């Protein structure tokens, strides 16, 4: 595989995975009555809470460790001050769009938490699904933690 292909493999896999997850959610959620299932917005029964938290943290660390494995298969040229990876101008809208979506979701969550009569907070939706489908929630939590760990792991650039 070419270096460019290797570079695009991980984002392509993530995109496919997200599309599959979104399709599964779109098929399942319309038939799910949250108000009937979760009138009290309680957390899932033990031991799912602590288990999910611990497994999520382990997946986060694992994702970070996996981000180091690229160096085992391929040693990219060490970027110097003049060769740091730069996002192309045509793709600058991607982080803007992503951050805009996250900002709107957090705004929705804040308003929902402040006055739940206006909106149901996203937290309540998550709690409801977690109570109804604990194993599936655990699996998605693992996956998301893995991806976050993969992206957030601190890898200082080698300048030598």
Q: Applying CB under 8 A, which residues contact other proteins? A: 43-44, 48-50, 52-54, 56-57, 60-61, 64, 84-87, 89, 92-93, 95-96, 99-100, 102-103, 106-107, 109-110, 113-114, 123, 126-127, 130, 137, 145, 148, 152-154, 156-157
Q: How far is the CB of 89 from other proteins (least distance, A)?
A: 6
Return the number of the residue (34 or 109) whose C-beta is nearest other proteins: 109
Return the number of the residue (19 or 101) whose C-beta is nearest other proteins: 101
Q: How far is the CB of 1 from other proteins (least distance, A)?
A: 25
C-alpha–C-alpha distance, residues 86 and 127, integer Å: 39
User: 41: phi > 0 → left, psi -120 to 50 → alpha, else beta; which?
Assistant: left
C-alpha–C-alpha distance, residues 61 and 72, integer Å: 18
Distance of CA 150 to the CA centre of its chain: 10
Q: How far is the CB of 66 from other proteins (least distance, A)?
A: 14
Return the number of the residue (11 or 156) whose C-beta is nearest other proteins: 156
Distant-in-sequence, close-in-space partners of 151: CB < 8 Å, separation ≥ 6: 63, 67
Answer for the pair 98, 11: CB distance below 8 angstroms, yes or no: no
DSSP state of 159: -
Return the number of the residue (1 or 83) whose C-beta is nearest other proteins: 83
Which tokens hold the place of 58? Answer: 């382990």
Q: How far is the CB of 142 from other proteins (least distance, A)?
A: 12
Return the number of the residue (20 or 47) whose C-beta is nearest other proteins: 47
C-alpha–C-alpha distance, residues 101 and 58, integer Å: 27
């Amino acid at each position: 595989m070419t270096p460019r292909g290797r570079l695009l493999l991980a984002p392509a896999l993530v995109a496919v995975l997200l599309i599959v997850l979104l399709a599964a959610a779109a098929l399942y959620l319309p038939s799910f009555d949250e108000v009937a299932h979760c009138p009290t917005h309680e957390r899932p029964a033990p031991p799912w809470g602590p288990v999910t938290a611990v497994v999520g943290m382990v997946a986060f660390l694992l994702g970070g460790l996996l981000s180091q494995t690229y160096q085992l298969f391929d040693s990219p040229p060490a970027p110097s001050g003049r060769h740091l990876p730069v996002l192309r101008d045509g793709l600058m809208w991607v982080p803007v769009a992503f951050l805009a979506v996250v900002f709107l979701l957090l705004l929705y969550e804040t308003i929902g938490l402040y006055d739940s009569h206006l909106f149901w907070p996203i937290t309540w939706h998550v709690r409801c699904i977690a109570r109804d489908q604990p194993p599936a929630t655990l699996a998605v939590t693992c996956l998301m933690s893995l991806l976050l760990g993969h992206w957030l792991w601190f890898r200082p650039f080698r300048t030598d």
